[in-house]
Amino acid sequence: QSVLTQPPSASGTPGQRVTISCSGSSSNIGSNYVYWYQQLPGTAPKLLIYRNNQRPSGVPDRFSGSKSGTSASLAISGLRSEDEADYYCAAWDDSLSFVVFGGGTKLTVL
Amino acid sequence: QVQLQESGPGLVKPSQTLSLTCTVSGGSISSGDYYWSWIRQPPGKGLEWIGYIYYSGSTYYNPSLKSRVTISVDTSKNQFSLKLSSVTAADTAVYYCARGEYSSSPDYWGQGTLVTVSS
């Protein structure tokens, strides 16, 4: 049972815009930054979004993040086949004193 | 650019101790602004936080693993290590080392190493 809640799956067709939600509580998302990671099969998680809505160098601007209260979302516009991956949200939890993760969302590009 | 690389045995027998080392390059592990952590991912499952350490040696472990986990740091080698005792098949996972800023999620990750617990 993950502390942060994500839908287990999402899908879209090439060119479409998809969003993935992440729900938490006041001790994690509500009071700390949300991070998003992309994990391609057989590889390590790659930082996609940090501090709620910032993109590391090299991440296309098709990826965007937002946060409101105790929820956050990742949006992917202009969906491409190479976006097919697992996506995880994460946030520091003040009550637990460590990082908590969502259970992951498997994105399928139809 | 900071890089992290895990190393250690890929196969551990049940009841024994799993030992992994993470070597950091491109940055000093003695930087006071960061924690150095271990995270694992069982096959086909999600990410689980194991624990973290600061260069000063202060540590924090996931309560669900606390009785079996030890994380240590060797600043002279720019490395930190994980020991997980009394392993069972449930500890089979890809183990990642990662760096993060205080009260934030990790920014740099190692490539991960698969550890299988089997006799």
Facing B49 at nearest CB: one of A35, A43, A99: A99
Alpha-carbon gap, residue B76 to B30, rounded angstroms? 9
Alpha-carbon gap, residue A29 to A8, rounded angstroms? 19
What is the residue whose two structure tokens read 């994990």? A39
Q: Is the dihedral of CA A59, A61, A62, A64 positive or negative?
A: positive
Give the nearest chain A residue to B108 (CA atoms): A47
* pLDDT at B4 > cutoff 90: yes
- Name B92's bridge partners: none
Q: Given an 8 Å threshold on Cβ–Cβ distance, is A98 in contact with B111? A: no
Q: Which residues of A touch B37 (CB under 8 A)?
A: 99
Q: Which residues of B touch A7 (CB under 8 A)?
A: none
Q: Given an 8 Å threshold on Cβ–Cβ distance, is A50 in contact with B37? A: no
- Per-residue pLDDT tens digits of chain A, which is 110 residues long: 899 999 999 999 999 999 999 999 999 999 999 999 999 999 999 999 999 999 999 999 999 999 999 999 999 999 999 999 999 999 999 999 899 999 999 999 99
Please give the full DSSP string across A20-38, using - where no structure is assigned: EEEE--TTTTTTS-EEEEE
Beta carbon pairs, A and B, within 8 Å: 58
Q: Answer for the pair A87, A38: CB distance below 8 angstroms, yes or no.
A: yes
Q: Which residues of A touch B6 (CB under 8 A)?
A: none
